[in-house]
């Protein structure tokens, strides 16, 4: 490729790995903020109510799903709230520093689907006036896209996985892409 063609191409074409890292870091900051919010006063007390609110107006065939989660969280909501908060903070660390990305992306995908399906109530109830499918499903898609980007760009030199993988070859097989 000659210099003239390189000059015409934008930042994304010249530096896709750098752009992906910027997206990862921004997404990590968002998860870090969200995880921090779980430790604010009043969240634990409000959590079972969020589950009950999500079940309102849902189809009857989903009632068992919401009943299960309402009963599970009612007994000790602090365990659920703080566990999710810690997981979100760990996910933020993973995204910001590029650490254990394979596990982090998969875990983030699963957590996003759980958030979408329980407190967000699958984004529903759907009917006249429904305009939103919820954010959890969009987060899950972002994790899938991050996985796809990582699979096509194995040499992300700005991640901890790359640095650790250079020293310990087994690291890359288990934790990195």
The domain locations on the chain are 15-174
Tell me: the pLDDT tens digits for 82-128?
999 999 999 999 999 999 999 999 999 999 999 999 988 888 766 67
pLDDT for residue 12 is more than 70: no
In percent, the amount of the chain with pLDDT more than 70 equals 88
Q: What is the mean pLDDT of residues 135-152?
A: 91
CB 99 within 8 A of CB 93: yes
Residue with tokens 């969240």: 43
pLDDT for residue 137 is more than 90: yes
Residue 114 burial (10 A CB sphere; 0-12, 13-18, 19+): middle
Distance CA 166, CA 177 (A): 13
pTM of the full predicted structure? Answer: 0.85
Largest CA distance in the chain: 66
CB 115 within 8 A of CB 136: yes
Distance CA 91, CA 88 (A): 5
- Residue 136: predicted pLDDT: 92
pLDDT for residue 154 is more than 70: no
């Amino acid at each position: 490729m000659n210099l003239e063609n390189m000059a015409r191409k934008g930042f994304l074409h010249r530096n896709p790995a750098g752009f992906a890292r910027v997206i990862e870091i921004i997404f990590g900051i968002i998860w870090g903020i969200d995880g921090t919010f779980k430790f604010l006063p009043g969240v634990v007390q409000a959590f079972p109510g969020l589950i009950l609110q999500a079940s309102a107006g849902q189809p009857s065939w989903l009632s068992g799903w919401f009943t299960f989660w309402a009963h599970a969280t009612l007994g000790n909501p602090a365990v659920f709230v703080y566990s999710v908060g810690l997981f979100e903070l760990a996910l933020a660390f993973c995204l910001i520093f590029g650490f254990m990305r394979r596990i982090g992306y998969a875990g983030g995908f699963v957590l996003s689907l759980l958030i979408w399906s329980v407190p967000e109530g699958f984004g529903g109830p759907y009917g006249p006036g429904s305009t939103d499918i919820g954010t959890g499903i969009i987060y899950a898609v972002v994790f899938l896209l991050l996985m796809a980007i990582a699979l096509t760009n194995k040499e992300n030199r700005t991640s901890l996985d790359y640095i650790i993988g250079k020293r310990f070859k087994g690291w890359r097989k288990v934790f990195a892409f």
